[in-house]
Structure 1
């Protein structure tokens, strides 16, 4: 029951973030729904394809689809009233979604006896894949890969679960809280992973004579 509640919170957070990006890009109501659904469920769908879970399993989440559609409808109808609260709580609920989905994705792969590499990929895709697809569809550079430490926390969850360092229910709840805390700290204090920019220089030589 606890994981179901966390999944609902994460689904709402991801669906709303997709809807917000769509409205920022001035998409119509269909675009708002599509981007919101992709954000909430895109990562899980890609994960299922890669680790061998039937794609039809996605359609068994009827309640989550209804919750996502309701959340996006409310945001579309009352954006000004709700988004002022979203700015305060959006990152926190998003952190809950990242942690819950990453852990669930890793558990999916472990239960199917996949190797550690697949467990980590499943955690990353479930936790952040929807946001990556959202940004690509919106014509943006994926924020989770460049602006903040985001997918890295999902990698940690996949690593710990894949190597069976965390497998008991109480340990999973501790891991969930830890990932949420790390994500909150990373955006609060603007933590960044090392990066390097490379822009090849071009020399335009003109020949006169």
Structure 2
């Protein structure tokens, strides 16, 4: 179980690092900027989660594998050939960013819930869902702030709401179906809601509506 969870976290790290690095590429950042954006997106939510739960130092600083995966992913995407492949077609860029961001969001949302179960003295529904959503969206918020954009969760499609739906599903299914089934269902729901909202252009009401 621990090995499978580690694999899921590494996949989420890779996915979020890619979304951060791609954002940096679009902003014409140098290699340092692209790597920092990829790293921050990948580990930011987990750092915020650990601080909320009183885990110090945060797990990212105890095991460098997550930072290493994030930095390597960012460096690979910065390679001229890969960069040209991604940037020449806006539709390809948007699709890759959507898939990577959705995968990272789903995996980190349920990963946050698992960590909260392990470390919280009284893991209430509110605590579990809150920590899951913060873990899922935290890195993306930091990415957008560093990139000089309005955080994605406030303006683009259904984002934090997808994380919230997946977190609720995961917490509800946890005692009924077991840990792994709940995590897989929760993360799959997040990805499905994100993909469908992007395809059908679902949005929450905006202030100008």
Equivalent residue in structure 1 for 2:141, among 110, 128, 132? 132
* 1:81 to 2:89 alignment: no
Equivalent residue in structure 1 for 2:197, among 183, 186, 189? 186
Q: Which residue of 2 aligns with 1:16?
A: 18
- Note the residue ranges of structure 2 that are not aligned, 5 or more in a row: none
* 1:45 to 2:53 alignment: no
Shift of 1:194: 2.1
Q: Which residue of 2 aligns with 1:33?
A: 35
Which secondary structure does the structure 2 equivalent of 1:93 belong to? helix
TM-score for the superposition, normalised by structure 2: 0.83
* 1:176 to 2:176 alignment: no
The equivalences for 1:60-139 within 5 A come to 60-78=62-80, 79-83=83-87, 87-111=94-118, 112=120, 113-139=122-148
- Runs (4+) of structure 1 exceeding 6 A deviation are none
Deviates more, 1:119-128 or 1:22-31: 22-31
Greater C-alpha radius of gyration: 1
Cα deviation digits, residues 90-120 of structure 1 (max 9, x gap):
3223222111110010122233233333222
Q: Which residue of 2 aligns with 1:201?
A: none
Is the helix fraction higher in 1 or 2? 2
Equivalent residue in structure 1 for 2:60, among 55, 58, 61? 58
Question: Using a 3 Å threshold, how does the CA distance of structure 1 residues 171 and 118 change in structure 2: closer, same or farther?
Answer: closer
Question: Using a 3 Å threshold, how does the CA distance of structure 1 residues 24 and 92 change in structure 2: closer, same or farther?
Answer: closer
The answer to whether the 8 Å contact 2:47/2:60 transfers is yes
Cα deviation digits, residues 108-154 of structure 1 (max 9, x gap):
22332333332222111211111111111111101122211011121
Q: Take 2:58 and 2:153, find their aligned partners in 1: how far apart are those partners?
A: 27
Q: Which residue of 1 aligns with 2:150?
A: 141
Cα deviation digits, residues 63-102 of structure 1 (max 9, x gap):
2222211111111123113455654443223222111110
Shift of 1:9: 2.3
